[in-house]
Structure formats: structure tokens, C-alpha cells
Amino acid sequence: MDYAVETFQLSKMFETKEKGRKRVVKAVDHVNIKIGKGEFFGLLGPNGAGKTTLIKMLCTIILPDEGTAKINGYDIIKEPYKVRRSFGWFHGETGGRSLYWRLSAEDNLRFYAYLQNVPKDVAKRRIDALLEFFGLTEDRGKLVKEYSTGMKVRVMLARALLHNPPILFMDEPTIGLDTISAVETRKLLTALNAELGKTIIFTSHNMFEVEQLCQRVAIMRKGRIIVDAPPSQLREMLREIRSVEVEVREASDLQKVAEQLVAIPVVGKVLEIKNNAYGHVIRLQVDNEYEAIPEIAEKVQRLRVKVSAIRQSEPTFEDIFVKLASEEE
């Protein structure tokens, strides 16, 4: 099988100093992943898990200490320029810093088109189309420093697509975007994947997006891949996350109610407290929902809390992520 991304024991260590003493941190620890051509692949992990280091190594910006990787069949150490022609990289964590702020969006894109060997006439057509798609046509001549964060993010997205690479590294592509732009971006990434067969390596802290878009998800922790599976399989693996939702209509101190409920022996911890149309919802992890529900009902009655419903709830993708990412602590 042809792989878009293939890593072989890929490792990276960094030296840090703590109280004057040197310490070696394994940022990426013998990672082996294979991402097929045309796959929509999610890479998740808490901050500091090693996602960005891994992506930067694949983008040839950081040299590995051990192992290697192939991008579009090219070795990241031996053939960096061939690798660089093969991908588009969006790094959302920079918040628009990776643009020339004293150039316009159009000038930024034109400059980058030259660097990526896009012929002049093709570049012009693509720049026009991308600016129109991302709603920047009217502001195309304005200096980027006058743009909002969302507009800068859109220019960076346009830049990643400009040379039409087969592989896209999308590091938090919807960060800083308004809802409509985020929806449009997700739609575009889906279309690029489905219709043009682009391989997309996607990172996000928005679990809804990951679940909606990715065909396969890897979770990193402390530089290692701890899970690599389709979202549906992750759900299966997490059946043991049992939870109960308590819909509270009125309570003087919601936090206190939650604390009282956690004191029930069959209740684990508070997973989430959120608002909905009827009031507030407290989601609780439980050992057994059939035993927990009557006990919770009795407790809320004693506490004189007005409750409209107590029901079993499905674990969200976020619960799955939190559980897996913290499991190896």
C-alpha cells in the first residue's frame, strides 16, 4: 500500500535546564505511524504531548535524533526539498504571526507562490479564487497588520492550499475563526479529501470537529502514540465510561449540589457542568447507572433541588480523549 506519511521509530529529544541541571525530555518517542494516501487523520494530545514536534519533523523544520519518516514516498532527512513540495502546512498556534504583516494578503500569497514554484498565471487564478473563497477579495490590498485574527487565519489557510499539495498538515485550522468560517473550512477540507484525495493530518482541540472529520485518530501522550484507531472504535473502547446527566432547573449553588452528588458512593466525578434550554446539566461519571440514578434522585430530593430529568448519557468524544490522555499518568 502507498502511504502518504510513514514514520519509522521517529524520535526527538530536547535538553532543558531545570534549576541549573540539564534534563532530557523525550518530545517524540519512537513513533511509528502509517497514514494512507487520501486518509483524513486526526492527531490529538494535550499540550506538550509532542504533536507539534512530530509535525515539524515531518515538515523538515526539525531534524529527528533517531529514526526517519517518508512523506509522499520521500525521506525527510535525505530528500527535504522533494518532501517540501509535497505538503501544505497550516500552523494555527502562531495566530497569524507567520505572515508578513506589512504586506497585503495578495502580496503574501504571491510571494509564497514563487517560493513554491507555482507558475505566475496559475498563481494569479488560485490567489483570486482562494481570496474569494475565504471572503478576502475586498480586503486583498490591505496590509495584513490591519486584519483581524480570523482574517489572518484565512490567509494562512489560503497559503497552505496555494500550491495544491497532495498532503495537508492542518494544525488547528479553525482556531480563531468565526462559526461560519469554521463551518466553511471544515466543508472545504472534507471536499479536498473526498474529491481530490488529499491526505489531511489534522489537529484540533475541538473534539466535535475531530469526530466529524477524521477517519482515524491517534492520541499522543508524552511523545508516544497511545491509541491509533477510528473514532467509532474509540467509542467502543470507552464503553466503560458510564455517565448520568442531572438536569437541574433551579439551584442556589450548582457547584455545591455537584459536590454533594459526588459524595454518593456509586458516583465517580463531575465530568461537566453546562447550561441548556431548561437550566443546567451536571454530568457525572458513575460505576453503574442503574444503581446510581435512584440514589441521585433521592439525594436531590433531600437537597430540595428542582430537577427536571435524571438520565443515562453517552460518553462524548471529549470524555474519551480526557480518559485516554490521562490514563497513563
Partner 1 sequence: METEKLVELLSEDVPHVKTPVHQIVASFIVRDFKVWWTYKFWLTLDISGILLFVATYYLFSLIASPQQIQEAGYVTGGYFTFALIGIAFQQYVFFAVQSINMSVRDEQWNGTMETVLSSATDFKTFLLGETTFFFIICSAFLFISFLAGWLLGATFCLNLASVLSAIVLSVLLIASHMAIGVLSAGVIMKTKQGNPLTWAFSWMTQLVSGVFYPLKILPWYLEWVGKIFPLTYSLDGIRLCLQGGQTLVSTAVLSDAVNLVLFTAIATPVALYVFKMGYDAARRDGSLGQY
CB of 117 to partner 1, least distance (A): 5
Nearer to partner 1, 43 or 83 (CB): 83
**Residue 69 CB, nearest distance to partner 1 (Å)?**
14
In this structure, are strands 40-44 and 21-31 parallel, antiparallel, or unpaired?
Answer: unpaired
Burial (CB count within 10 angstroms: exposed 0-12, middle 13-18, buried 19+), residue 49: buried
Phi–psi pair at 79, nearest 5 degrees:
-130, 55
d(CA 73, CA 2): 8
Residue 184 touches partner 1, criterion: CB under 8 A: yes
Q: Which of 33, 59, 155, 305 binds partner 1 (CB under 8 A)?
A: 59
Cβ atoms of 260 and 246 closer than 8 Å: no
Residues in the chain: 329
Q: Examine residue 49 and tell whether it contacts partner 1 (CB under 8 A).
A: no
What are the start-end ranges of the H helices in 6-119?
51-58, 80-86, 105-115
Contact range with partner 1 by CB under 8 A, out of 18-26, 32-40, 88-96, 282-290: 88-96
- Contact window for partner 1 (CB under 8 A) among 123-131, 250-258, 290-298, 307-315: 123-131
**Contact of 41 with 202, CB cutoff 8 Å:** yes
Between residues 136 and 296, which has the closer beta carbon with respect to partner 1? 136
Scanning residues 9 to 28, which ones bind partner 1 (CB under 8 A)? 12, 14-15, 27
| 40 makes contact with partner 1 (CB under 8 A) | no
Q: Does 34 sit near partner 1 (CB under 8 A)?
A: no
Q: Report residue 208 as a C-alpha cell.
A: 466535535
For position 62 contacting partner 1 by CB under 8 A, the verdict is yes
Question: Minimum distance between the CB of residue 91 and partner 1, rounded to whole angstroms?
Answer: 8
Contact yes or no for 126/157 (Cβ under 8 A): no
Size of the site for partner 1 (CB under 8 A): 54
Output the smallest distance, CB 193 to partner 1, in A. Answer: 10
CB 283 within 8 A of CB 243: yes
Nearer to partner 1 among residue 107 and residue 247 (C-beta) = 107
What are the angstrom distances between the C-alpha of 33 and each of 18, 81, 162, 183, 232?
32, 22, 27, 29, 19
Q: Quote the DSSP letter at residue 218.
A: E
Q: Which is nearer to partner 1, 188 or 266 (CB)?
A: 188
Backbone angles phi, psi at 234, to 5 degrees: -60, -40
- Out of 3, 40, 89, 147, which residue is the one contacting partner 1 (CB under 8 A)? 89
Which of 38, 48, 75, 116 contacts partner 1 by CB under 8 A?
116
Regarding 81 and contact with partner 1 (CB under 8 A), the answer is: yes
- Residue closer to partner 1 by CB (options 122, 297) is 122
Backbone region of residue 170 per phi and psi (left: phi > 0; alpha: psi in -120 to 50; beta: other values)? beta
Among 30, 34, 188, 264, the residue binding partner 1 under the rule CB under 8 A is 188
- What is the rounded CA–CA span in Å between residue 303 and residue 243? 21
Number of Cβ atoms within 10 Å of the Cβ of 115: 10
Stretch that binds partner 1, among 158-166, 208-216, 254-262, 313-321 (CB under 8 A): 158-166
Cell for 291? 444503581
Least distance CB 204 / partner 1 (angstroms) = 19
Decide: is 102 part of the binding site for partner 1 (CB under 8 A). yes
CA distance 68 to 36: 17
| Residues lying near partner 1 in the complex (CB under 8 A) | 12, 14-15, 27, 53, 56, 59-63, 65, 81, 84-85, 89, 91, 94, 97-103, 107, 110-112, 114-119, 122, 125-126, 129-130, 132-133, 143, 159, 161, 163-164, 184, 187-188, 191-192, 195-196
